[in-house]
A = this chain, B = another copy of it.
Amino acid sequence: MQTLTYRDALNQALREEMQRDDRVFLMGEEVAEYDGAYKVSRGLLKEFGPMRVVDTPIAELGFAGVGVGAAMVGLRPVIEMMTFNFALLAIDQIVNSAAKMRYMSGGQVGVPIVFRGPGGAALQLAAQHSQAFESWYAHIPGLKVVMPGTPADAKGLLKSAIRDDDPVVFIEGEMLYNLKGDVPDGDYTIPIGVADIKRAGDDVTLVCHSKTVGVALKAAEQLAEESISAEVIDLRTIRPMDTETVLRSVVKTNRCVVVEEGWPFAGVGAQVVDTVQREAFDHLDAPLLRVTGADVPMPYNKALERAAKADPSQVVAAVKTVLYRE
């Protein structure tokens, strides 16, 4: 076991996969000479050189397409989006090219590519720089969507994403990069499509992913003080979603609260609710509730931003509602 930050865990995953497979390369804005806008690629240019760690012009649509083309002929591109806010400019290549190539070609041409970078809000970056788009990508057949919430998951899942034969949208958290955690030594992977029970409990199921794993765990602690036992399930992969693990828990707890950073309308949580109420209808003692980001563009002001973000107190309140406590 080693203790690593989420950032360094990602950096290790990239380095180890690039050492293991010379088809793997990293491309994006400032990934090479600048070591990455968030330093996730620190040292990689020095180790692998400019052909495998490639700085691009500001041209998200273009370099996303370059990655798709390279993947179509057998390379394993990792395309860094400085943040997924800017990926809106590249989304045609992600959705119309990467996600559909295998199907349109009748199985002849796959696109083994990873689009990665931070998603969601950081601190006071305002409306255009604070958006969570995971439900958008998860809506698209042909894409896989991975969102680790811990350093160990980040490393193991990024390795799986790079080894995957299909396009993977790998969304990190800018606020998570400095998060420290235990990471297994050596080479290991975590399978895509498998959720993780981050805390066991009996009274209520909390479903979360990425940054909200921390929110749910904090809420679970506070609930424990009131002797409410919450089970915290980290989806880790949004698509394909591990519904079995979620259902197994809800069948046990009979109550569920879904926590996510993004906006409420047709968010990831809406899909969790849809699945659970359909598959576990007779096991539910209360409606499923959701805790989400406020349904507004993100404000710059610090206090307003704090109020716009999903926090443990909202989770605690939702849990008490589904438990019919006060």
* Chain A residues proximal to chain B, CB less than 8 Å: 61, 85, 88-89, 91-92, 95-96, 99-100, 103-104, 126-128, 131, 135-136, 138-142, 239, 241, 262-271, 273-274, 277-279, 281, 284, 286-290, 295-297, 299
Given that A88-B96, A139-B136, A263-B141 are known contacts, is A289 also in contact with B297, CB under 8 Å in the complex?
A: no
* The 8 residue pairs across chains A and B that have the minimum distance between CB atoms: A281-B287, A270-B270, A88-B92, A103-B297, A135-B266, A100-B127, A270-B274, A273-B274
Given that A141-B295, A297-B99 are known contacts, is A277 also in contact with B287, CB under 8 Å in the complex?
A: yes
Instruction: Please measure, in the bound complex, the distance between the C-alpha atom of A262 and the C-alpha atom of B136, giving whole angstroms.
Output: 12
- Cross-chain contact of A104 among B95, B127, B141, B270 (Cβ < 8 A): B127
Instruction: Please measure, in the bound complex, the distance between the C-alpha atom of A25 and the C-alpha atom of B104, giving whole angstroms.
Output: 37
**Residues of B close to A297: CB separation below 8 A:** 99-100, 103-104, 141-142
**CB-defined A-B contacts under 8 Å, sample of 8:** A99-B297, A104-B297, A139-B263, A140-B263, A142-B297, A269-B274, A270-B271, A270-B274
Instruction: Please measure, in the bound complex, the distance between the C-alpha atom of A271 and the C-alpha atom of B262, giving whole angstroms.
Output: 14
A258 to chain B, nearest CB (A): 9
A134 to chain B, nearest CB (A): 9
Given that A127-B100, A128-B104 are known contacts, is A139 also in contact with B267, CB under 8 Å in the complex?
A: yes
**Residues of B close to A279: CB separation below 8 A:** 287
A90 to chain B, nearest CB (A): 9
Given that A278-B288, A289-B278 are known contacts, is A266 also in contact with B96, CB under 8 Å in the complex?
A: no
**Residues of B close to A91: CB separation below 8 A:** 88, 91
- Cross-chain contact of A103 among B61, B286, B296 (Cβ < 8 A): B296
Q: Is the CB of A85 within 8 A of B89?
A: no
